[in-house]
Structure 1
Amino acid sequence: MSFLAIAKSRYTTKKYNSNEKISEEQIEQLKEILRLSPSSINSQPWKFVFVSEEATKQKLASISYFNEPKINAASHLVVFYAINDIPKFEAQIKQHLPEGAVAYYNQFLKPLSEAEIKSWFQHQVYLSLGFFLAACASLDIDSTPMEGINIEEYQKALPLDAYKPLFAVAIGYRDKEDANQPSVKPKSRLHPETVIQSIG
């Protein structure tokens, strides 16, 4: 399937088939794809937690507001974290990145406020989200990106030292009766001339 066809067919799943689980082979592929996600200066200020164990998944579902039914029925929940410790990040890039990338950080990012630096970290994690959603669709896996989670409670439920949860993605296979799928509810997007401009 072409990438354009994937873009036309993928959608935010609202109802999952709780009886259908993603194979371990495909989960391993998704983990590797996330590891290979792009980030500015190859900064990789993230961690990703895959949850399939039912008790933990249900606990997270209960602190995910209106997303609870989706998480409970989905095969897995993936929680995306951004690093929240600037000295730890600086030590990481000093150890793993070339001098030019570290110099870029020191010149353009390090002088910013703590809030601005952490916002930059979080922007990188959102890049991985887009990569991940496309990867899921390429594997015929349905997905639901969710900012509607209780961040503080997620931090307590799945604490990662020096990292902060940002959002989660439920993944699995749609219920055949899901009313949000494109075959039932056609995609609605702005017209090309509204969002695309060409120069030259």
Structure 2
Amino acid sequence: MSTQTTQDFHSVVKSRHSVRQYDSSVKISKEEMTEILQEAILAPSSSNLQPWRFLVIEQEDLKKKLHPIAFNQGQVLQASAVIAVFGDMEWYEHAEEIYSDAVKAGFMTEEVKQAFIASAENVYRHMDEERKKSILYTDGGLVSMQLMLSARAKGYDTVPMGGYDKIKLHEEFNIPTHYESIMLIAIGKAEGPVHPTSRLPLEKVTYWNEMK
């Protein structure tokens, strides 16, 4: 089933809600899922080193395997797929590939490329684990939000999930040890009407020029 739609940005933002009940008959094609992921990875990242990695879990037997790992949350079984978002703790090792592509595309010179590679080596490689994870979670959050907005623009619904056993996920799905688990995102079509949630008034969460 294809749910290709076109919506303006404001409609997408206002209609995105976390959905936990899905129509299990709806399947998202690999083509559409690829389009969603392609739009997601346009998100910004530290030094444009794109540390995100994805595991798309769509086979029924694998969703059943994931179900107890995600503390038996129903959306794991009902959704068209669950996307596991990871951050590669060795992401800076891809600097040569990324910046070489930028040179070929005319986005930077060879001199700038070499400077960027040297910076990545000097800064990221010797960074402590806590700071590395902080970068991965920041960039992982950015790409995850973009993924959810892309899905909504195509008429699909999502819910970000932090309640799962990360150790078991790594063990059961043979995740590389240098991948840090960021979140799970269930994606599909809501089973019924989606109810909005309340938000704090803007004036309670926003300050202008100084914090009072």
Q: Same fold (TM over 0.5)?
A: yes
Partner of 2:180: 164
Alignment of 1:94-109 (within 5 A): 94-97=96-99, 98-106=113-121, 108-109=123-124
Seen in structure 2, the aligned counterparts of structure 1 residues 171 and 163 have a Cα distance that, compared at 3 Å, is: same
Offset, 1:34: 3.0
Whether 1:16 and 2:22 are equivalent positions in the alignment is yes
Offset, 1:125: 1.2
Partner of 2:10: 4
Partner of 1:37: 43
Partners in 1 of 2:162 and 2:95 — Cα distance? 28
Seen in structure 2, the aligned counterparts of structure 1 residues 119 and 129 have a Cα distance that, compared at 3 Å, is: same
Partners in 1 of 2:147 and 2:199 — Cα distance? 21
Partner of 1:65: 71
Partner of 2:200: 190
Whether 1:151 and 2:157 are equivalent positions in the alignment is no
Matched letter for residue 146 of structure 2 = F
Number of residues paired by the alignment?
Answer: 189
Cα displacement string for residues 83-115 of structure 1 (whole angstroms, at most 9, x for unaligned residues):
13x3xx333213432334334434554453222
Partners in 2 of 1:100 and 1:193 — Cα distance? 43
Whether 1:76 and 2:81 are equivalent positions in the alignment is yes
Partners in 2 of 1:187 and 1:44 — Cα distance? 32
- Percent identical pairs in the alignment equals 24
Matched letter for residue 43 of structure 2 = S
Asked whether the 8 Å contact 1:110–1:117 carries over to 2, the reply is no
Partners in 2 of 1:105 and 1:195 — Cα distance? 35
Partner of 1:119: 134
Matched letter for residue 195 of structure 1 = V
Partner of 1:91: 93
Partners in 2 of 1:66 and 1:20 — Cα distance? 20
Offset, 1:57: 1.0
Partner of 1:54: 60
Partners in 2 of 1:115 and 1:77 — Cα distance? 27
Mean Cα deviation higher: 98-107 or 36-45? 98-107
Alpha carbon RMSD of aligned pairs, Å?
A: 2.1
Cα displacement string for residues 148-199 of structure 1 (whole angstroms, at most 9, x for unaligned residues):
11100100122233323221100001111x6xx23xxx43111122233456
Offset, 1:47: 0.9
Structure 1 unaligned residues grouped into runs of 5+ = none
Partners in 2 of 1:73 and 1:133 — Cα distance? 17
Please state whether the residue corresponding to 1:145 is helix, strand or coil.
Answer: strand
